[in-house]
């Protein structure tokens, strides 16, 4: 069972090795790394806030802005690019009204492009909340997205 950010912070007093686990717990619990989170981690570990920010900004898994309830990752690696990933990104951007990296106003979806999801045989591919969808077409990607929005079948 995963421990909460607060539990980890209490257990991490003075431990600089806890910076990344604390950042991961905060990202999972809050959906992003806030200024207050950086201050809390600095207090818990004894590391300077600048150091905490440096670690958080180095790794792409950490975000400084709130994310939507559902995280969409569209692969734009070579195989997916050749198979039409750009058209998938464009269709999703139009449907959501956001550019890659953006979050919908209702905080339901955040759209990201990633270099590789490791599913080249399924290209083009996207992942929503860890669920993989492959051999996509632009209309197919939008259909999956709408099903996530309504909680319908996938």
pLDDT tens digits for range 6-39: 777 777 677 778 899 999 999 888 889 999 999 9
**Whole-number pLDDT of residue 3:** 66
Q: Record the tokens describing residue 7, joined without a space.
A: 């539990």
Q: What are the b/e assignments for 76-88, b being 16+ CB within 10 Å?
A: bbebbeebbbeeb
Q: Cα angle vertex 101, ends 56, 22, to 5°?
A: 25
CATH architecture of 70-150: 3-Layer(aba) Sandwich (3.40)
**Whole-number pLDDT of residue 2:** 63
Provide the pLDDT confidence category of residue 154 given band limits of 50, 70 and 90.
low
* Tokens 């910076």, residue located: 19
Provide the pLDDT confidence category of residue 5 given band limits of 50, 70 and 90.
confident
State mean pLDDT over 141-150.
93
**Whole-number pLDDT of residue 30:** 87
Helices 19-30 and 35-45, packing angle to 10 deg: 150
pLDDT tens digits for range 43-71: 999 999 999 999 999 987 898 988 898 99
pLDDT tens digits for range 77-118: 999 999 999 999 999 999 999 999 999 999 999 999 999 999
Do residues 100 and 71 lie in contact, with contact meaning Cβ atoms separated by under 8 Å? no
pTM above 0.85, yes or no: no
């Amino acid at each position: 069972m995963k421990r909460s950010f607060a539990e980890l912070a209490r257990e991490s007093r003075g431990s600089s090795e806890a910076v990344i686990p604390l950042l991961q717990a905060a990202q999972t619990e809050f959906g992003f790394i806030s200024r207050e989170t950086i201050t809390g981690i600095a207090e818990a570990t004894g590391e300077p806030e600048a150091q905490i920010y440096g670690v958080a900004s180095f790794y792409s898994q950490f975000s400084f802005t709130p994310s939507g309830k559902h995280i969409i990752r569209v692969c734009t690696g070579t195989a997916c690019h050749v198979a039409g990933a750009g058209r998938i990104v464009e269709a999703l951007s139009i449907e959501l009204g956001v550019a890659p990296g953006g979050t919908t106003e209702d905080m339901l979806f955040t759209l990201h492009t990633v270099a590789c999801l490791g599913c080249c045989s399924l290209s083009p591919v996207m992942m929503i909340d860890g669920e993989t969808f492959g051999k996509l077409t632009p209309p197919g990607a939008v259909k999956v997205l709408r099903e996530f929005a309504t909680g319908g079948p996938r």
